Structure 1
């Protein structure tokens, strides 16, 4: 019944997008005049690019009247995408993250997105800027935590639940107990914490729910920053930036040098699946979790009518068809987590013993953030100053003093965008 319901919803979504394109009787693919070629820009490593290309091949098999030319941008993706748009050579379809979308929305044509297709409200909203959908969601990149069960058992610490997250206080207490030794032989309870992620875990956020106030300098933000700073002190539970520089934290994790690996993304699925699954497990991120990236597909405003119609067909396929969504992750590479319910069982079957359910739960429960103009500029300025002034980076100042000042600076920048 669930599969039939998904198929029906997908069909309705497809018809809505096709109707929006206003194509003649020849259909959305070719406008009645033959094959249409569109270009698709995306990023990723070799394995991820291979996954994308396999999805393109599946699409072309199902839609022989549309040819998709891959444009794999291997570095400086957003900069090169912006340059191509400014130069009048925009790709017909561009992969774009929810964090970068506000900076590119003006270059994309509005699309009709059936939010009911997606099992997560956060995914459904990912392509929306200021109340308008400019991109079609197609992959979620939720964060979980990987743990070394053997280390927990050896230290006499209870192994975390695979479904209920630890509190942030419980995480810190466990990390301290799992830390032992000193110098080069020190075993850490946790890999380094990411401030932006730990801010959310502690219940904080950069902005208020309406996106009009900066809130990272409140009690939640200060507590998050202090935890990150304390974790890397000589008696702390995580390696400092100097200790971790140039080191592969997953390798440290698999070697038993760190017991917990927070900020664990789906691109690591193949790595953990290759380990001894009796010793390693995926569990939810502590507290409120971490920010989730959702990648969507934007369609160039400059595209022709036939190209737009073909691009909408392509975006719908990538977003809702099991033929595409089932290819998002494998034992060799994973772009992320499917965004439609019908592909979740195939996703979890990739590595059934490591609890991939934690990834899908994180997608379902992800915290959504308000639309903020100049978000990238504001947060880049904040992060640069936070790192230069506190021990989260290279500074020495007290986060309790620095954060309220940076929050006031953030508010000035935010007010200037209104």
Structure 2
């Protein structure tokens, strides 16, 4: 019934787009304007770009009147996208993350997004800024944790649940017990923790729910920072920044050098599926989880009418059609998690023994974070200072002393945006 409902919604979306105009028999994808070429800007590594191009090919097969020119930007994506927009050469459609959207929304036209299509409220809201939808969601990038089941069993520990998250305290206790040895032979209980993610896991956040107040120096934020710093001390359970620099933590995990791999994104699915899956398992991130990125598609304000019609059809196809959504992940590459219910079974079947359900649960349960103007600038400044002053990076100061100062600085920058 879910698949039928999705199909109905998709058909309805295409019919709505067809209402833009055009002569009888004209292709609705172009608003009756004949053949149209649109450009699509996106980022990603080689495998991710190949996934995007396969989705484009599926769209062009279903919509032969529309040609999509792929604009694969391999580095400095947001900077180059901003430059192209400012220079009057904006792509017709641009991939944009929910974290960057507030800075780009003014360059996109408002779009109609049927929030009921998506199984996650966080996904449905991902393209919305200030009550207006400026982008159509098409892929979720939730975070989970990969564990070495054999390591837990050898240490006499209960293997974590595939559905119920460990508490952050239980995670620290397990990571400590799973750590052994010293020097080059040391086996770590966990790969390095990402402060931004662990902040959320501990129940903290950068901002209050309304986005008006910086909150990273609250008790949860200080505790999160202290756990991250403590984890990399000589007697800690994770490699320090110097030891981890330039190292492939997934390879350490595959080799048994780390027992738990937090901050595990869907792009690692193909690599995990290639291992002996009887030894490994995907489980929820501890505590409250980690922030989820949702990538959406924005349509340029400078696009011509026929291009806009084609772009809307393209965005709808990428967002809701199983022909596109089923391609988001495979045994060779995974761009992310589908955002519509009808494609989840296809996603879970990629690696049925490692519990990919944890990814979809993380999408469904994700908490929507507040939208903040100049979010990237504010958080980049905070992270640079935090890393330079505390052992989260290269510093030595106590996070309990540093965070209140950085929170005050954050608040000044936030107030300046109002």
For Structure 1 versus Structure 2, the TM-score category normalised by the shorter chain is over 0.9
Which residue does the alignment assign to 2:214?
Answer: 214
**TM-score using structure 1 length:** 0.98
Q: Distance in 2 between matches of 1:33 and 1:278?
A: 55
Hey, what does 1:101 align to over in structure 2? 101
Which deviations, in whole Å up to 9, do the C-alpha atoms of 1:27-79 show, x marking residues without a partner?
43233342100011111111111111111111011111111111111111111
The equivalent of 1:309 in structure 2 is 309
Distance 1:401 1:95 in 2: 39
| Distance of 1:303 and 1:275 partners within structure 2 | 46
Give 1:371 shift. 1.2
Q: Is contact 1:18-1:312 (8 Å) kept?
A: no
Q: TM-score, normalised by structure 2?
A: 0.98
Per-residue CA distance 1:152-182 (angstroms, 9 max, x = gap):
1111111000000000000000000000001
Tell me, in whole angstroms, the C-alpha distance in 1 between the residues paired with 2:17 and 2:222.
46
Give, in whole Å, the separation in 1 of the partners of 2:28 and 2:86.
27
- 3-state secondary structure, aligned to 2:417: coil
Match of 1:249 in 2: 249
Range moving further from structure 2, 23-32 or 202-211: 23-32
1:298-354: CA deviation from partner (whole Å, max 9, x where unpaired): 000000000000000000000000000000000000000000000000000011001
Kept in 2, the 8 Å contact 1:16–1:112? The answer is: no
- Tell me: CA distance 1:111–1:286, structure 2 relative to 1, closer, same or farther (3 Å): same
Q: Tell me how far apart the structure 1 counterparts of residues 400 and 10 of structure 2 sit (CA, whole Å).
A: 50
Aligned partner of 2:195 in structure 1 is 195
Q: Distance in 2 between matches of 1:251 and 1:162?
A: 22
Change (3 A) 1:13 1:184: same
Stretch deviating more after TM superposition (121-130 or 3-12): 3-12
Question: Per the alignment, in what secondary structure is the counterpart of residue 39 of structure 1?
Answer: strand
- Report if aligned partners of 2:17, 2:31 keep a CA contact under 8 Å in 1: no
SS of residue paired to 1:210 = coil
> Counterparts in 2 of 1:7-86, with a 5 A limit?
7-19=7-19, 21=20, 25=24, 26-86=26-86
Q: CA RMSD in A?
A: 1.1
Q: By how many angstroms is 1:405 displaced?
A: 1.2
Q: Matched residues in 2 for 1:18 and 1:385: separation?
A: 51
Residue 412 (structure 1) shift: 1.1
Q: Which residue of 1 aligns with 2:119?
A: 119
Quick check: 1:17–1:111 contact (8 Å CA) kept in 2? no
Q: Residue in 1 aligned with 2:132? A: 132
Structure 1 residues 270-285: aligned runs within 5 Å:
270-285=270-285
Measure the CA separation in 1 of the matches of 2:70 and 2:232.
43
Report the counterpart of residue 389 of structure 1 in structure 2: 389
Could you say which residue in structure 1 is the equivalent of 2:331? 331
Other-structure match for 1:369:
369
Task: Please say if 1:167 is aligned against 2:167.
Answer: yes
Query: In the TM superposition, what is the alpha-carbon distance from 1:2 to its structure 2 partner?
Result: 1.7
CA contact (8 A) 2:43 2:49 kept: yes
Closer, same or farther: CA 23–118 of 1 in aligned 2, 3 Å: farther
Indicate yes or no: 2:357 matched with 1:357.
yes
The residue that corresponds to 1:146 in the other structure is: 146
| Distance in 2 of aligned mates of 1:16 and 1:368 | 29
The answer on whether the counterparts of 2:33 and 2:306 sit within 8 Å (CA) in structure 1 is: no
Runs of 4+ in 1 over 4 A off after TM superposition: 21-25
Q: Counterparts of 1:231 and 1:210 in 2: how far apart (Å)? A: 32
What does the per-residue CA deviation read over 1:228-255, in whole Å, with 9 as the maximum and x for residues that have no partner? Answer: 0000000000000011111110000000
What CA distance in whole angstroms lies between the structure 2 residues aligned with 1:117 and 1:70?
A: 26
User: What's the CA shift string for 1:251-275, capped at 9, x where partnerless?
Assistant: 0000000000000000000000000
CA distance 1:87–1:121, change in 2 (3 Å):
same
